[in-house]
Chain A
Amino acid sequence: MDIFAQVMIDGLLTGMLYALVAAGLSLIWGVMDVIHFAHGEFLMVAMYLSFWLGFVGGIDPVISWMASGVFLFILGALTYRLVISHCIGKSAMPPLLATFGLSLFLKNFCMNRFSPNFRILQDTLLGGKTIMLGSITIGLPQLVTGVFSVTMLFALYYLIKKTRLGWAIQATAMDREAAELMGIHTDRIYLLVFGLGGACVGIAGGLMTSYLAVHPEVGGLFGLIAFLIVALGGFGSVPGALAAALIIGMVEALAGFYIAPVFKYVAVFMLYLVVVMVRPKGLFGW
Chain B
Amino acid sequence: MNNAMLEVEGIHCAYDGVPVVHGVSLNVSQGEIVAIVGANGAGKSTTMKAIAGLHHPTRGRIRFLGQDITQTPGYAMIAKGISYVPEGRRLFAKLSVRENLELGAYTEKNRAVIDQRLEQVFTLFPILADRAKQVAETLSGGEQQMCAIARGLMSGPKLLMLDELSLGLMPALVEKVIATVVEINRQGTTILLVEQMVQEALEIADRGYVLQTGRIVQEGPAKALLASDSVRKAYMGL
Residues of A within 8 A of B (CB): 164, 167-168, 170-171, 174-175, 177-186
CA A177 to CA B106, docked complex, whole Å: 15
Instruction: Name which of B26-34, B70-78, B123-131 contacts chain A.
Output: B70-78
| A177–B90 CA distance with the chains assembled, in angstroms | 9
Nearest-CB distance from B107 to chain A (Å)? 4
B95 at the interface (CB under 8 A from A): yes
- Cross-chain contact B90 with A184 (CB below 8 angstroms): no
Q: Cα distance A184–B104 when bound, in Å?
A: 10
Beta-carbon contact of B155 and A183 below 8 Å: yes
Q: Which residues of A contact B155 (CB under 8 A)?
A: 182-183
Would you give the shortest CB distance from B76 to chain A, in whole angstroms? 8
Identify A180's interface contact among B74, B92, B102, CB under 8 A: B74
Q: Which chain A residue has the least Cβ–Cβ distance from B74?
A: A180
Which residue of chain A has the shortest Cβ distance to B98 in the bound complex? A167
Contact B93–A174 (Cβ < 8 Å) = yes
**Nearest chain A residue, comparing its CB with the CB of B148:** A178
Residues of B within 8 A of A164 (CB): 102-103, 106
B contacts, CB < 8 Å to A: 52-54, 73-79, 83-84, 86, 90-95, 99, 102-104, 106-107, 151, 155
Given pairs A167-B95, A177-B74, A181-B84, 17 additional interface contacts (CB within 8 A) = A164-B103, A164-B106, A167-B92, A167-B99, A167-B103, A170-B92, A174-B94, A177-B54, A177-B90, A180-B53, A181-B90, A182-B103, A182-B155, A183-B75, A183-B76, A183-B78, A183-B106
In the bound complex, do residue A182 and residue B104 qualify as a contact, i.e. CB atoms below 8 Å apart?
A: yes
Residues of A within 8 A of B94 (CB): 170, 174
Name 9 interchain pairs, CB-CB below 8 A, sorted by A. Answer: A168-B103, A171-B92, A174-B94, A175-B90, A180-B73, A180-B75, A183-B76, A184-B106, A186-B75
Q: Across the interface, which residues of A come within 8 angstroms of B77, CB to CB?
A: 181, 183
A171 to B101, CA, bound (A): 12
A178 to B73 Cα, complex, angstroms: 13
Q: Nearest 8 A-B pairs (CB), nearest first?
A: A183-B78, A180-B74, A183-B107, A178-B90, A180-B75, A171-B92, A185-B75, A182-B103
Closest to B154 in A: A182
Residues of B within 8 A of A180 (CB): 53-54, 73-75
| Residue in A closest to B78 when the chains form the complex, CB atoms | A183
C-alpha spacing A186/B78, complex, angstroms: 14
* C-alpha spacing A184/B103, complex, angstroms: 9
Please, how many angstroms separate the alpha-carbon atoms of A179 and B84 in the complex? 11
B235 to chain A, nearest CB (A): 28
Which of B75, B93, B104: most chain A CB closer than 10 A?
Answer: B75
Q: Complex Cα distance A177/B93, Å?
A: 14
Do B86 and A174 touch across chains, with their CB atoms under 8 A apart? no
Neighbour of A171 across the interface among B79, B103, B107, CB < 8 A:
B103
Q: Select one of A167, A168, A174, A181 contacting B78, CB under 8 A.
A: A181
